[in-house]
Structure formats: structure tokens, C-alpha cells
Amino acid sequence: MSIVNYNVEDRVAYITLNRPEKRNALNANMVTALKEAFEEGKNDELAKVIVLKAEGDVFCAGADLAYLQQLQKNTYEENLADSHHLKSLFHQIYTHPKIVIAKIQGHAIAGGCGLASVCDFSLASPETKFGYTEVRIGFIPAIVSLFLIRKIGEGKSRELLLSGELISAEDALSFGLINKVVPLDELDQTVGSLTQNLVEKNSAQSMALTKEMIANIQEMDMTEGLSYAAEMNAKARATEDCKKGMAAFLDKMKLNW
């Protein structure tokens, strides 16, 4: 049985955490399997959008207990390599050329909350709890901090990362951590509507370029950022999707993306 499943339906790739008996907790093997699945999604011409979801009642409970025990025995070099392993997964999702939507039907804690943080859209059921509980066990939420501060700002990030408190889905929504709270029995339908809207109405090239721009432009000052934006503007105009979209707009024709 695979710990991460991958399948495509109606131009949407579904990447599914499949360790429900362990509350979909993360370990090195799970991180590897996720990286492989996202790489497959990147190269899959049948998939335009990706949905990250999980089997069972919990989205992801953070690090696996056996995994945490092993980390205590590692050398610094081994722990550094393992940290880079997780870092590359978060960066892979954050910079993925395809839109990634997290469907969160149960608690997302620590590393699981980190996964939700780096997705482009996160939709959760009202019962879901979120939190970065690392400080409760003498650890630190190191890698996710960079992405979280970018996403919700320093003030709210400090509150979440330093307190280690679990928050409700509604609070996560108000913090800007997630995009929508949806009743559990409507979650599949709502995620499906979002994916089909993106698939049918948006250019894949445009979404990829926009994600690239969002990731890069925050590092720049005003002058550098505006120059970069102008270059991206010119780059986008040369794409086949832009030529197709402009022609359809001018001719008042319905686009088929």
C-alpha cells in the first residue's frame, strides 16, 4: 500500500496522504513520496491543477513519533540533511508551476499545518484545528516560518509560532492562513467547483507565471521589483496562451482552456 497516492481526474491531479492509521503523520519516507508525487504532477500533461488531500479523519498530525525518536539519535549532519529534505518539499509546493489546493477535512498540526501554509488555496471543514505546536516539545517551527510570515505577516505569525496554541478553522480564516471554511459534507463539492473554475477559465501558463512572480517579487525593492514586473509582463505577452487569449477577447469568442 502506497503512503501517498496519485491519480488524475478531469484535469485535476489528486495527491493523497495515505497513512490514516498514523493520522497521516510525516516521516522521511512520506516526505520523499510527496516530493515524487508533486514532481509527477508537474510533468503530467493531463493535470492542470493539483489537490492535496488525506485519507481518514486527520489531514496531517505533524511528525511521526517514531520519526521524532530517530531524530534524537541523529548527528547534526544527519539532521541538517533531513531538514533540507523537508525544506525542499515546502519550497517545491510553494513554487510549483501548477495551482495547489489543500482540502483539509481534519486537524493540520505542526508539519501538517506547514503543508497547508504553502499551498495556493486551503479549504477546511469547521471542525479542523490548526497550529504550530513545535515549541510545546522544545522544537522550533523553523522552515515554515519563512512561508508563514510571507503569507500572514509577522504579527500573526508570532502569535501562532510562539504560542503553540491550536486555533479553530474560523480563526485560521481570519488570520489569512486558509481561504475558506466549508461544512464537511460540502467540502468535496466546493473544492471541485474551485478546481473546475481554474481549469476551465484560466490559462495554465498565466497561472504558472503569476506564481513565479509572487514568489520572486517579495525579495526586491521598489525599483528592482517594478523592473522585474515589466520583464514578466513582456514575457507573458510572448506566450501562446496570451496570444490565444487576446485574440479571443478581441474577437469576442469563448475560450476553451
What CATH number did the domain enclosing 123 receive?
3.90.226.10
Q: Which of 55, 134, 224, 240 is catalytic?
A: 134
Are residues 146 and 222 both part of a single domain? Answer: no
Is 239 part of any domain? yes
Is 255 part of any domain? no
240 is catalytic: no
pLDDT at 21 over 90: yes
At residue 168 the predicted structure's pLDDT band, cuts being 50, 70 and 90, is very high
Are residues 32 and 156 both part of a single domain? Answer: yes
Are residues 96 and 207 both part of a single domain? Answer: no
- CB 170, CB 181: distance < 8 Å: yes
Are residues 121 and 209 both part of a single domain? Answer: no
At residue 71 the predicted structure's pLDDT band, cuts being 50, 70 and 90, is confident
Structural domain ending residue among the three candidates 156, 182, 199 = 199
CA distance 127 to 167: 10
Mean pLDDT on 168-176: 98
Are residues 86 and 113 both part of a single domain? Answer: yes
Are residues 37 and 122 both part of a single domain? Answer: yes
At residue 241 the predicted structure's pLDDT band, cuts being 50, 70 and 90, is confident
- Local structure of 50: helix, strand or coil: strand
Are residues 67 and 79 both part of a single domain? Answer: yes
Mean pLDDT on 152-168: 97
pLDDT of residue 246: 84
pLDDT at 243 over 90: no
Maximum alpha-carbon separation in the chain = 66
Is 256 part of any domain? no
At residue 193 the predicted structure's pLDDT band, cuts being 50, 70 and 90, is very high
Structural domain ending residue among the three candidates 162, 177, 199 = 199
Domain holding 209, by residue range, is 203-250
CA 38 to chain centre: 11
Contacts of 15 (CB under 8 A, 6+ apart): 4, 5, 6, 34, 37, 38, 41, 50, 51, 52, 53
Least confident stretch, 99-113, 211-225, 233-247: 233-247
H helices of 60-217, where?
65-73, 76-94, 111-118, 142-152, 154-163, 169-175, 184-201, 204-217
Are residues 36 and 79 both part of a single domain? Answer: yes
Q: Are strands 129-131 and 180-181 parallel, antiparallel or unpaired?
A: unpaired
pLDDT of residue 251: 81
Are residues 69 and 128 both part of a single domain? Answer: yes
Is 158 part of any domain? yes
* Edge-to-edge strand ranges of the sheet holding 121-124: 4-9, 12-17, 49-54, 99-104, 121-124, 180-181
- 94-107 pLDDT, tens per residue? 999 999 999 999 99
CA distance 99 to 187: 18
Total structural domains within the chain: 2
Across the chain, mean pLDDT equals 95
Are residues 88 and 190 both part of a single domain? Answer: yes
Our CA angle for 152, 157, 161, nearest 5°, is: 145
Is 244 part of any domain? yes
Are residues 21 and 104 both part of a single domain? Answer: yes
Structural domain ending residue among the three candidates 181, 199, 217 = 199
Are residues 29 and 90 both part of a single domain? Answer: yes
pLDDT at 131 over 90: yes
Mean pLDDT on 45-56: 97
pLDDT at 242 over 90: no
Is 89 part of any domain? yes
- DSSP3 helix / strand / coil % (the chain, rounded to 5): 55, 15, 30
Mean pLDDT on 49-59: 97
Residue type, 136: R
- 35-50 pLDDT, tens per residue? 999 999 999 999 999 9
